[in-house]
Structure 1
Amino acid sequence: MASRPRPSPRRAPRHSAVLRERNFRVFFIGCTTSMLGTAMATVALAFAVLDATGSLSDLSLVMAARIVPLVALLLGGGVLGDRLPRRLIMLCSDWLRALTQGVLAVLLLTGSVRLWQLLLLAALGGVGEAFFKPSFDGLLPHVVSAARLPDANTMIGLGNSVAGVAGPALAGVLVTLTSPATVLMVDAGTYAVCALFLMLLRVPPSRSAVAGTGVLRELREGWGVFTAHRWLWTVTLQFTMFNFVVWAPYLVLGPAAAEESYTGAGSWGAVVAVYGLGSVTGGLLLLGRRPSRPLLVTTLVTVLWAAPSAALAARAPLGVVCAGALCAGVANSVFNALWMTTIQQYVPRAALSRVMSYVSFGAYSIGPLGLALAGPLAERTSISTVLAVGVCWQVAANACVLCLPSVRGVRLISAAGSAPVAGPAREHTPRGGPPA
């Protein structure tokens, strides 16, 4: 009797196979835990300031206090990320942020918090983020195989999106039932968990390509790589203005609009949670898919970033605001995954932290000004007026960027290591070597 052929083992989907890599799995769990706490703290901090002072101007100042040191130290963080072990920098940053959130929670619980303390602790949190972010962006290509890097970026974005759904929703419940201090204490714990998982990473020691050179020379070299790609600095400039005109007013005035026109913390938590749900949806749609023209796709979809601001400006029903937040979340997930993959493919690994520090520095450089101005401008005019200006800017800026051949022509590099021909070699030829 002939034996029946054995069925072939069922293969896991290609896009989920990245989680089978031990290093990436540890990295993913730790960082996603931290993202959950951060998403919770965003809601808690806004209402902690409003409860403590009741001033939109104070809320603007506290948010700006976090961004100012972030912008000021990002370039230095990029240099250190290319010079020192990136995991070590991330560990120190996580413990610093855990300490600042814990101290802030204790001050709120005791009822002794002052404005200067809020500003100082927010600034120290920004210091931690300034050193964490460039090293995070530079370490990811070292904890996953090159062929699975696009899926790794999508999974990181998906984890961030899930945290964006669960975090604000949980924060809204906890703020209502307990206090903002409880949420901030949980956030401190998530940073500690992330640090513990980072300690479990198996990253082979490597000698920095920039060790022994001067800081200014390293910055110049990073600037040279950054400016060599026209699409890189163009999109960074667009994102700089987006943070200033659109997102900073949204972060400051969104909670205030929820307090004024809806039901306060519960409504704002729902809007932020739905934004996260949109990010999850965008991540799921993108898993396993690699558009050949990534920046063309991101420019088309990121006009939706202005959708929740438009709904709030029109004082639309809460359901409409949530629908706008859902669309913005989808756009955010698509942008982050495709943008990061494009940079990681075209920028040399030895310069990746410095280049990402320039990207982040540009994106956040005038964000503090937007945060500081949003409250006073809304008090002089109205919340709707400030948000509407941002909506008009986003539509116009995306239309302009879409007209640029240097943005439309960028192609993702295939797994085989080649990219379709797309414009001038200076802009579209990958300059990086094999993975370190």
Structure 2
Amino acid sequence: MGSRERFAVFRDRDFSVFFVGYVTSNLGTSMASVALAFAVLHNDGSPTDLSLVLAARIVPMVLLLLGGGVLGDRLPRRLVMLVADSVRALSQGALAVLLLIGPVPLWVVLTLAACGGVGEALFRPSFDGMVPQLAPKDRLPEANSLLGMAQSAASVGGPALAGVLVAVTSAATVLLVDALSYVVSVGALLMLRAGNQAPDSGGSSMVAELRAGWRAFSAHTWLWTVTLQFTLFNLLVWAPYLVLGPVSAGRSYGGSEAWGLIVGTFGGGSLLGGLLLLGRRPSRPLVVTTLITFLWAAPSAALAVRAPLWTVCAAALAAGVSSAVFNSLWMTTIQQHVPADSLSRVMSYVTFGAYSVGPVGLALAGPLAEQTSIGLILAIGVGWQVLANSVVLMLPAVRNLHAPNADQNESAAENSAESAESSTSDVPAT
């Protein structure tokens, strides 16, 4: 595929406009993740307090994801995303203002973090269902790679910039920038022409739609198996890394600047991974994703042994490459094998499953590390990642799934939709 063809999706006005808003909001979000951690720690917060704040955002997101998936399949997806970004802008803006005024009680931080989780629960399923409406079917792999690269590019500069701004100004300043980035995203969504039509739910109830979404999700062994894998990944690997990474940076590597550098390097790896993948379409995508995500445990391994900062950054770079490759191939695979009219609901089950026990990991990582050690908790996650990936790689449903050819995407999606309609009598017509 020629270099021009790799970027041909930008010829679509709606995708280009959406891309700008997505990059901007992700830049703010990547900055806010660093700012929020050190806002808690600089306010005499403990690792346990940081665990609670991170969990406060994830809990409502997990609880409301399935409802967000139903809304994304029965309401205009653009409308749902507009509401979601408005909620996130208001919650981050309120927290920034309160931090500028003075010390903020922990319960207030927890409440506003939870509001951000509500916005995420509404946004994510509609976003996953919106992408196929913005890009032609034969350009979905490139669209997903470019959106992943947008997130990665934001992750490169955002954390590093946030680390400097937190040190020079305050965490509140960074959170205010994040709130403004959501305002830009709202403006971009208002300019879209796609995603304005409300699907016909056929008068079915939300419960019936959730059941239909579950059938579409559970019909694919590879889909629920990989989702289960990442349910435990978030519990045992990623949640401890998110909590104990900033703590390790503060104790062993100099503070917020070091953590910003580590997270920024991860983002750089994601950008590199997106560039390497752009225009490439492996025939067995899930084999590639499973092999490369062994590297996701690399940063935890480096922090567990208190490796030099450059080693931690190198590990974060490798993990970032694997993250970009996984996200792009995973999303494209789902979009190519799941009917469009149930995509938001299916993705809500995927995200719900992946994050359902994440709050438990976030809440327990700090206290367990205080009772044992940071190195031990991180090492347990590393061992799990190696074991789980090895098991998934042996599954025939993962090894034997092939990507459809570009010229077969449309007919495959149509056949999949027809099959779903004929096999379930109460699937809503959307």
**Contact 2:69 2:346 (8 Å CA) reproduced:** yes
* Matching of residue 412 in structure 1 with residue 403 in structure 2: yes
Q: Structure 2 CA distance, aligned partners of 1:195 and 1:287?
A: 28
Per-residue deviation at 1:317? 0.2
Deviation at 1:54, TM superposition (A): 2.6
Structure with greater Cα Rg: 1
Q: 1:35 touches 1:160 (CA, 8 Å); kept in 2?
A: yes
Match of 2:167 among 176, 185, 197: 176
Question: Structure 1, residues 142-173: CA drift from partner, whole Å, max 9, x if none?
Answer: 01111111100000000000001010011011
CA deviation after TM superposition for structure 1 residue 291, in Å:
0.5
- Answering whether residue 367 of structure 2 is matched by residue 382 of structure 1, we say no
Alpha-carbon distance between aligned partners in 2 of 1:258 and 1:129, rounded to the nearest angstrom? 27
Q: Which runs of 4+ in 1 moved over 3 A?
A: 204-207
| Residue matched to 1:14 | 5
What are structure 2's unaligned runs of at least 5 residues? 419-429
* Structure 1 residue 187 displacement after superposition: 0.1
- The CA distance in 1 between the partners of 2:314 and 2:107, in whole Å, is 37
Which letter maps to 1:109?
A: L
Corresponding position of 1:245: 236
Find the residue that maps to 2:350 and give its secondary structure. Answer: helix
Question: Which whole-Å deviations, capped at 9, do the CAs of 1:18-58 have from their partners, x for residues lacking one?
Answer: 11211110111111110000000000000001011331100
* Distance in 2 of aligned mates of 1:411 and 1:332: 20
Q: Please, which moves more after superposition, 200-209 or 184-193?
A: 200-209
SS of residue matched to 1:212: coil
Q: Indicate the larger mover: 18-27 or 228-237.
A: 18-27
1:152-171 matches, within 5 Å, as 152-171=143-162
Superposed CA offset, 1:215-252 (max 9, x none): 11100000000000000000000010000000000000
Matched, 1:186 2:177: yes
Structure 2 residue 277 is the aligned partner of structure 1 residue 286: yes
- Is this contact kept in 2: 1:209–1:350, CA < 8 A? no
CA drift of 1:207 comes to: 4.5
Give the SS at the match of 1:416. helix
How many residues end up aligned between the 2 structures? 418
Deviations, residues 68-109 of structure 1 (Å, cap 9, x unaligned): 000000000000000000000000110110000001001111
Q: Distance in 2 between matches of 1:430 and 1:243?
A: 34
Q: Distance in 2 between matches of 1:249 and 1:147?
A: 39
CA distance in 2: counterparts of 1:306 and 1:12, whole angstroms = 33
Q: What residue is the counterpart of 1:3 in the other structure? A: none
Distance 1:418 1:372 in 2: 42
Structure 2 vs 1, CA of residues 52 and 278 (structure 1 numbering), >3 Å: closer, same or farther? same
Give the whole-Å Cα distance in 1 for the aligned partners of 2:370 and 2:198. Answer: 53
Which has the larger share of helix?
A: 2
The percentage of counterpart residues that share the same residue type is 63
Normalised TM-score (structure 2) = 0.95
Within the candidate set 261, 267, 292, 1:276 is matched to 267
Corresponding residue number in structure 2 for 1:228: 219
Partner SS, residue 410 of structure 1: coil
Output the TM-score relative to the length of structure 1.
0.94
In the TM superposition, what is the alpha-carbon distance from 1:206 to its structure 2 partner? 3.2
1:432 partner SS: helix
1:418 shift after superposition: 5.8
Unmatched 5+ residue regions in structure 1? 1-10, 420-424
Match of 1:108 in 2: 99
Q: Deviations over 1:194-225 (max 9, x none)?
A: 01001111116435142421111100000000
- Matched with 2:426 is none
Other structure's SS at 2:216 match: helix
Amino acid at match of 1:227: S
CA distance in 1, matches of 2:195, 2:123: 19
Retained in 2: the 8 A contact 1:64–1:372?
yes
Note the aligned Cα RMSD (angstroms): 1.7
Matched ranges for 1:180-219 at <5 A: 180-203=171-194, 205-219=196-210
**Aligned mates of 2:105, 2:24 — CA distance in 1:** 29
